[in-house]
Amino acid sequence: MSDIAPPYAAVARHAVFPEPKHDDAARFDFLANFNKYLSGTLGPGNARAYETRVRPAFARAHGRDPVDRFEIRRAMNADPFHRLWSGLKRNSMEMRQHNGRAMVLRQLDNLDARAAALNDGKDTLRLDPGVEVPRYQRAVDIHCMPGSYHGEERPGDVSAGANYDCGLFATTAGGLGALSDGGGQALVDWVRRERPGWQPRRILDLGATVGHNVVPLALVFPDAEVVAIDTAAPVLRYGHARAQALGATNLQFVQMNAESMAFPDGHFDWVQTTMYLHELSGTALPRVIAEGVRVLASGGLMLHLEQPQYSDAMPLYEQFIRDWDAFNNNEPFWSAMHGLDLKQLMRDAGLPDVFVTGVRAVVDTSIFPDQSQGEEDHGRAAVWNAYGAWKP
Amino acid sequence: MSELDWIARAGAKAKGKRPAFFDDPAADRMLSMLTALIGEVSVMRQRLDTVERLLDSGAPVTRAAIEAYTPDTAAAQERGELIRDYIARVMRGVQQEVEAMAAPEPAIEEVSAALRDM
Ligand SMILES: C[S@@+](CC[C@H](N)C(=O)[O-])C[C@H]1O[C@@H](n2cnc3c(N)ncnc32)[C@H](O)[C@@H]1O
């Protein structure tokens, strides 16, 4: 069973989800299984190529082993197996974008109309054309998503959000569940165990994109005021409509830059991010953390869900393979960000007691793969670290 | 509303220089075409599977019926097996290379020479 990705038919179709045709679904079924195959069956070939020929050749040429993940990458980029594997994987990422965009753009009139019907006249969606897309977000289209989060095919559309939503299934081989919210469900699970009975009054999610992982928080704390901010309007439009469709009416979507927010000091009981920090530039990241600490109330929780940071304890080969997306899938900040000492950054921002805990996606295991089993597709797996702290 | 050429726009290039995986750019292009083709054959095979299942059920096989078809759990599992088997076939050469790396072997010529002198 676990050798096969769950079917695209199991992906939940909320009221603004793009309608897949038969062949759209078949393409995502192929891609989900192809990605599974690339990581599961062929992925180990990279480590074998490294151990059996790349590393020995490097040692012969330099009289020593590689000292960092960059040296490994340069050596591996000359290896025929790794080249082919990388080429296949890159194409799979591009095909996922192509299929998602074809499906969305074909029905864009209808999607825009469905979103507008859920958005119009609601004060829970607040767009601000004065918010600029940060320069570091404009440099390349993150993870080869044409137009990135902020691109529009025509003014005011939801294409970026809809494409993001409909294809996440394929790149994660279904690992995030029917609503691609396995991370948010894991947060709910974690907070219930960690602080049973806690009722945060206000929750802030930074860089929420379409709100996949904040909707579960809004639903589990219906009396809380939950705010999701992002700099990109197209994903906020789509995300707001999606949240309304899923009944998260206490969730606001606000266009705002997390580096400098309009909220007063100590406004929120919980400030959090999911899979967000790795897309920030080296200067934006500490600013975002500092701003987050500023708007966090004393006694409140800051929590960041991310892929594990690299450390000296992590073998160099693993650092290298986790870095694949940085150089091959347009993730320009990935490598440097994962090399940072996030705990120290949080301490420097005024949170002395930082904890780190492992978190796995919580999904409906009758259909979706149980994320406590199986091997990891480095960089894409639904296995994260939570970096957290309660503000003194 | 404005006419959007969705077919042309769907394949837009993402901003950011594409890495070259091979020395010859033609090899990169060929791999893109081959991978897309591998995907499309899988799609056609799944469409055929849908037609077969509609035929089995005795329902009229119309395009609308094909579009509306949703596999139940058992059918989805079988279709997943079909894709897995298909991928295993087209990727056999690469998969065998991974196997070969696990245990280095002498060339057959060497084996043959060794056996001859045994
Ligand atoms: C990887 S996505 C986050 C995924 C999302 N949190 C989730 O769990 O599904 C990164 C998002 O951060 C947004 N972003 C980047 N820089 C930002 C900033 N300075 N302020 C607010 N949002 C930002 C991008 O527009 C993008 O939507």
CA angle A27, A28, A29 (to 5 degrees): 90
What is the torsional sign of CA A138, A140, A141, A146?
A: positive
Alpha helices in chain B (DSSP H): 6-10, 25-57, 63-68, 73-90, 92-102, 108-116
Cα–Cα nearest to B28, from A101, A75, A328:
A328
CA A153 from centroid of its chain's CA atoms: 23
Q: Tell how far the Cα of A157 is from the centroid of ligand 1, in angstroms.
A: 18
User: Is the minimum distance from the CB of A230 to ligand 1 under 6 angstroms?
Assistant: yes
Task: Provide the pairing of β-strand A225-230 with A296-306.
Answer: unpaired
And the tokens for B61?
């096989």
Q: Can you give the length of chain B in residues?
A: 118
Whether A362 has a pLDDT exceeding 90, the answer reads: no
Q: What is the pLDDT of residues A3-34, one digit of tens each?
A: 899 999 999 999 999 999 999 999 999 999 99
**What confidence tier does A365 reach under pLDDT thresholds 50, 70, 90?**
confident
**Residue A41: which of B79, B38, B92 has the closest Cα?**
B92
Could you give all domains of chain A from N- to C-terminal order, each with its CATH number?
Answer: 8-122+135-170 (no CATH), 174-390 (3.40.50.150)
* Pair of tokens at residue A364: 């409906």
Question: How much is the pLDDT for B70?
Answer: 96
Residue B14 lies in a domain: no
Q: What is the pLDDT of residue A361?
A: 87
Question: Do the Cβ atoms of B46 and A26 come within 8 Å?
Answer: yes
pLDDT digits (tens, 9 = 90+) for A211-247: 999 999 999 999 999 999 999 999 999 999 999 999 9
Contact state of B76 with A10 under an 8 Å Cβ cutoff: yes
pLDDT at A269 over 80: yes
In a domain, B67, yes or no: yes
Whether residue B87 and residue A81 make contact (CB cut-off 8 A), yes or no, is no
Tokens coding A261:
């927010």
Instruction: pLDDT band for A289, please (50, 70, 90 cuts).
Output: very high
- Confidence at residue A363, expressed as pLDDT on a 0 to 100 scale: 83
Confidence of residue A371 (pLDDT cuts 50, 70, 90): low
Ligand 1 lined by A295 (C-beta under 6 Å): no
Contact residues, B window 48-87, toward A, CB-based 8 Å cutoff: 50, 66-67, 69-71, 73, 76-77, 79-81, 83-84, 87
Q: Which of A97, A139, A328 sits opposite B19 (nearest CB)?
A: A328
Pick from B35, B66, B101: CB nearest A48: B101
Look up residue B23 and give its DSSP letter: S
Q: Are B95 and A41 within 8 A, CB to CB? A: yes
Q: What is the pLDDT of residues A327-343, one digit of tens each?
A: 999 999 999 999 999 99
Q: Which two tokens stand for residue A386?
A: 């939570």
- A86-103 tens-digit pLDDT: 999 999 999 999 999 999
Taking CA atoms, what residue in A is nearest to B75? Answer: A7
Q: How many CB atoms lie within 10 A of CB B78?
A: 13
| pLDDT, position A1 | 43
pLDDT at A291: 98
Percent of chain A at pLDDT > 90 equals: 89
Run means of pLDDT, 10 residues per run, chain B, 118 residues? 86 97 98 98 98 97 98 96 98 97 91 87
The reply to whether B98 falls in a domain is yes
**Mean pLDDT for all residues in chain A:** 94
pTM here is 0.95
Q: What is the pLDDT of residue A377?
A: 63
Predicted pLDDT of residue A78:
97
C-alpha distances in Å from residue A344, one per residue of A169, A268, A359: 34, 22, 20
Q: Tell me, using a 6 A CB cutoff, whether residue A325 lines ligand 1.
A: no
Print the SS3 string covering chain A: CCCCCCCHHHCCCCCCCCCCCHHHHHHHHHHHHHHHHHHHHHCHHHHHHHHHHHHHHHHHHHCCCCCCHHHHHHHHCCCHHHHHHHHHHHHHHHHHHHHHHHHHHHCHHHHHHHHHHHHCCCCCEECCCCCCCCHHHHCCCHHHCCCCCCCCCCCCCCHHHHHHHHHHHHHCCCCCCCCCCHHHHHHHHHHHHHCCCCCCCEEEEECCCCCCCCHHHHHHCCCCEEEEEECCHHHHHHHHHHHHHCCCCCEEEEECCCCCCCCCCCCEEEEEEECCHHHCCCCHHHHHHHHHHHHEEEEEEEEEEECCCCCCCCCHHHHHHHCHHHHHCCCCCHHHHHCCCHHHHHHHCCCCCEEEEEEECCCCCCCCCCCCCCCCCCCCCCEEEEEEEECC
Q: Would you place residue A378 in the very low, low, confident or very high pLDDT band (cuts 50, 70, 90)?
A: low
Strand, coil or helix: B118: coil
User: Please, what is the Cα angle at A11 between A10 and A12, to 5 degrees?
Assistant: 110
Higher-pLDDT residue of A49, A175: A49
Q: In 10 A of CB A110, how many CB atoms?
A: 13
Q: Name the phi and psi angles at B56, rounded to 5.
A: -55, -40
B16 within a domain of the structure (yes/no): no
Q: What is the pLDDT of residue A360?
A: 86
Domain with B40, as residue range(s), is: 22-115
Considering the domain boundaries, does residue B13 fall inside one?
no
Q: Which residue matches tokens 């009054």?
A: A201
Q: How confident is the model at residue A304 (pLDDT cuts 50, 70, 90)?
A: very high
Which of A13, A29, A51, A96 has the highest number of chain B CBs within 10 A, making it the mutation to test binding with B? A29
Strands A383-390 and A354-360: antiparallel
Once rounded to an integer, what is the mean pLDDT over residues A342-360? Answer: 94
The three-state secondary structure class of B70 is coil
Pull the structure tokens for residue B17.
């220089």
Residue B5 inside a domain? The answer is no
Flag whether B4 is in a domain: no
Give yes or no for residue A257 CB within 6 A of ligand 1. yes
Q: For residues B118 and A176, which has the higher predicted lDDT (pLDDT)?
A: A176
Question: What would the mean pLDDT of A155-159 be, rounded to a whole number?
Answer: 97
A279, burial (CB in 10 Å: exposed 0-12, middle 13-18, buried 19+): buried
The alpha-carbon gap from A150 to the nearest alpha carbon of chain B, in Å, equals: 13
The angle that helices A159-171 and A22-37 make with each other, rounded to 10 degrees, is 50
Question: Is 80 exceeded by the pLDDT of residue A192?
Answer: yes
- Domain assignment of residue B1, yes or no: no
Q: How confident is the model at residue A382 (pLDDT cuts 50, 70, 90)?
A: low
Q: For residue B17, what is the DSSP state? A: P
Count of the separate structural domains present in chain B: 1
pLDDT attached to residue A383: 78
* pLDDT, mean over chain B: 95
How far apart CA A169 and CA A372 sit, in angstroms, is 18
